Amino acid sequence: MDVLDLTRLQFAVVTLYHYLFVPLSISLSAATAGLQIAWMRTGDDKYRQLTMLVGKLLIVTFAVGVVTGLVQEFQFGLAWSEFARFYGDVFGPTLAIEGMLAFFLEATFLALWYFGWDRLSRRVHLATIVVVAVGTLLSAFIILAANSFMQHPVAYELDPATGRARLTSFSELLLNKVNLAAFPHTMAGAVMVGGALLLAVGAWRLRDAADGAAFATLARVGAWMTAAGGALTALTGDHLGKVITQVQPMKMAAAEALYATTTGAPFSIFAVPGFSIEVPRLLSILAYGSPDATVAGMDDLQAQYSAAYGPGSYVPMIPVAFWTFRLMIGAGMLAMGFALLYLWRTRRGRRPAAWMLRVAILLPLLPAAANSLGWIFTETARQPWIAFGLSKVADGISPGLTAGEVLASLLAFTAVYGVLAVVWLRLVRHLARKPLSAPVPVAADPEPALSY
């Protein structure tokens, strides 16, 4: 592997690892706020107990996400300084605001929530976790705007004096049509990941007799989140696919390995040389919403791009695009299907089968894989562009980098992240195994002094 390949691999490792914790932080903060609202409205102490448990899971996940997010932003200076130099005026505001939201708003109010149980009034205390939940959404929306610029550059002009891209409208950058489509899709995927984790924790503890009612509720909350998130992911993904077809037709063609322009293009569920399972006209529906639409093939698009941008290959890695797209959909559907089955089998207080409890423990792997595969597809199927139609990936790496330097940092990051993964898993297991906190007589003490 040359310097460019190693640099891309390092960025992929850093990004994908960081993104394991981002959707969890988003969904767990919303789940914590929802459970606390349920406690305040019903007075049922199991909701308070679950609020504290999910909140602790959020804190552990948020801490790891912040650490890995710092490395994520440092990558622009470490290995992609040419990209940062050219697009820094566009990316700078989004990274700065996202950093302030994550470090100042979210971290501050999460600390207030954690330490404020016996110091703040109930409504103020609830407001702190609601602010955290809203902050995670704002943070995600703003950072997705930066990524959407790479998919569909808007709100910029080239400075004739410096030759750099200059931001012309921050609101236009935020309202990029790719961002407006990608944000709800990404948030729906986040709901799936968080729901699967809660379902796994609840199902794991249901094997014991202690706290059975509370963990049965937690498992069903997680199942509802996973199922609803799966349905919303499908709906928002359909819209996102149509937007991507408008701005990056090569990406949609690569998703089907469609070389020739085709009217009423089919979609392959599975394909190997000499054999495929196809759904007629489905790709045309996914791309344009019409079974009779014409989908541009990669051969024609390659000719168009060569004429517009100069000689070179503009076709991404087809096997990666083809299989990540299908595996993403398959993993998400399996997770949603299991969640729906769990809800059906546990309706009216019924206890799930023993095999379901065992399988549920592994459920978070499916939506986590779907999220990761989705980002691999999104980024690799844009290749060779770093900002579509403007500059290529090879133009963005730091000058003077050697393969040895990149390999050394890649190994270091991988080792540190491996340690963080073990720490996070052990902490989550520790929190999940602990007995729930003792009941609080809510009616007798409307402002209970709660502690961890």
pLDDT tens-digit map of 158-177: 888 888 999 999 999 999 99
- pLDDT tens readout for residues 273-305: 788 889 999 999 999 999 999 999 999 999 999
CA distance between the termini of the chain: 50
Give the start-end residues of each E strand in 124-201.
156-158, 165-167
The confidence score (pLDDT) of residue 444 equals 37
Between residues 70 and 447, the one the model is more confident about: 70
- pLDDT for 95-121, tens place per residue? 888 877 777 889 999 999 999 998 999
Q: Among 49-63, 100-114, 400-414, which range has the highest average pLDDT?
A: 49-63
d(CA 72, CA 387): 18
Residue 452 confidence (pLDDT) above 60: no
List pLDDT tens digits, range 141-151.
999 999 999 99
d(C-alpha 380, C-alpha 30), whole Å = 31
Give residue 73's pLDDT.
Answer: 78
Q: What is the pLDDT of residue 210?
A: 58
Q: How do 165-167 and 262-263 pair as beta strands?
A: unpaired
Specify the pTM: 0.93
Residues 391 and 224: beta-carbon distance below 8 Å: no
Q: Coil, helix or strand for 14?
A: helix
- pLDDT, residue 209, reads 61
